Structure 1
């Protein structure tokens, strides 16, 4: 590709629509294996991602974007507001709203005080300290849930790792390493518990067979509700931080 990796594109309002034209962020993604131009919404960055096969032109990508402009504008507008790690910002922890409170003269890094996430030290360190606190809390809560599920199925994970994935809440590698999105710490505990049970069950069945789902349902009873929660509320978690 010989055009910018990212840019803003103004899409005209659909015929008959009351909404004005909308400027949306577009990220162009080169994909050597792609056979056609495709488009998706990235909820984390709040942008349209257009995947381009070799020799595809920007003009062709823009044509696809304009053809589906109404869909793109609707999806971008429907995204949850972005939440930055800043004093006064509110985010979920275990499904419960918590507020970031900056206490520059205190010590202790970042810690919980009721429903406040207290962050000490200079403002320059606040963002990193909130991120570190959430990752540590996610690791603690996930590890506590892995142990009983693994014992129930008679399996032992090789390791537990945290990631910041865009599309998967958890994964199980062939070597038995379990990986989870740290953003699960914001979900209700029963939703996190389902994701943990799902990945632990893969230590017994590396597939989605009937046997696999039987293991999951043995561990948790909220599978359908948790999947629905992640479908509806999950994209908002990607807008945090």
Structure 2
């Protein structure tokens, strides 16, 4: 199910959206701590997480799915956002160093094609951070937040999907342990929930966050390697002097 860009913008303008942005952005910034000289792409609806990179990256782009809609970003500068088909991005091969994918994987009808396209535009050794709703989290069960729309994932499902599209996970974490409260007083306790949940590794986080690198070569399955290692036997020649069979 697609999300509307107006609903996404409204969510991030709300107290619950601001809490989600702060908690997720902290992890994104820790993983992409120094992006000086890099090209960065935000795919899905990543604009709440891109502003911190604008002063150090060579370029920062925001690509939003055609079915979602697009907004002008950044608001007070030349537009760096575009409405695209995310499985056919208007970028050359190996042109982006870092990708942040959020509010994209769970709503697309073609998740493998989306990750394959991200693989294509990433430079060799390029990295992607994927933020996806957790199947076991409360945020995925309430449709009043964007994380309650589309297809949530378990860690094993996300790992299999990345393996199929030639990504190698390098770091796993979770966020949004705090329930999506509506009351501001309860939301203020969100940071405490987050610290306790992260420290003890509690179940029920709202989103899975995985950082992965682009693999350049498809690994050879172990069964195929074993078959290739077996000795190859050619058909035996007929023994010398053996009678020649005749028919008729």
Asked if TM exceeds 0.5, the reply is no
Higher helix fraction: Structure 1 or Structure 2?
1
Aligning the two structures, in what range does the TM-score lie when normalised by the shorter sequence?
under 0.3
Higher CA-based Rg: 2
> Which structure has more RCO (C-alpha within 8 Å, separation ≥ 6)?
2
Q: TM-score, normalised by structure 2?
A: 0.23
